[in-house]
Structure 1
Amino acid sequence: MVKQNIGVVNSLIRITCGLTGICYGMLNLQKRPWQQGNWTIITLSAMKVGEGIVRFCPVTYLLENQMTTSGQSHGQGNQRLNKQDSQKSQEHS
């Protein structure tokens, strides 16, 4: 089961913008079927609709994991430095 990581308002905005993008891409596809950019717009918009329905964004997930991972590594490094400083101060005393 995928843990939801976006809110209700965010998902509604994604669904609305995604459906708008799909309509825009389809209309442009009728006018200029030889352009590949229309398929890109349709594909990206469909992904946004899917993200809104499932309420899970992989980019948000990756950014949250990166922030927590980097925060933990910096925190552990600071703890190690503090322990070394306290040991040095005890040796000098």
Structure 2
Amino acid sequence: MKPNIGIMNAMIRITAGFSMLTFLTIRAGRKEDASIHPTWIVMSSLKIAEGIVRYCPLTAAYEQLATERDGKEESWGQNYDYDPDEDKDACRHL
């Protein structure tokens, strides 16, 4: 498993994960009838794990989908084959 997120992104994920986990723990401790869904706790734990390991499965899936089947990255910009020498006559008509 090769890291696919940077150091700053990892630090942000760790900080956000611990913040969410702390908030959920405090909220559950204050209210006895608090219905904290376990999904939120799992999501915050996953953010912490992604930051520590520096691997995000969603980023990996996006990168895999963003590449074409031949292995070359897909170009989203428009490719212009513009040659200014060929267009000199067109500029004179303006």
The amino acid that maps onto 1:62 is A
The CA RMSD over aligned residues, in Å, is: 2.2
Deviations 1:7-60 (A, max 9, x none): 0000000000000001001011112344032x3222111100000000000000
**1:6 corresponds to 2:22:** no
TM-score with structure 2 length normalisation? Answer: 0.67
**Sequence identity percentage:** 33
**Which whole-Å CA distance do the structure 2 matches of 1:52 and 1:29 have between them?**
25
**Paired residue secondary structure (1:69):** coil
Return 5+ residue gaps in structure 2 as ranges. 75-94
Residue matched to 1:17? 16
Return 5+ residue gaps in structure 1 as ranges. 76-93
Larger helix share, 1 or 2: 1
Residue matched to 1:59? 58
TM-score with structure 1 length normalisation? Answer: 0.67
How many correspondences in the alignment? 72
Residue matched to 1:44? 43
The amino acid that maps onto 1:64 is E
Q: Kindly tell me: are residues 70 and 31 of structure 1, through their superposed partners in 2, closer, same or farther at Cα, counting changes over 3 Å?
A: farther
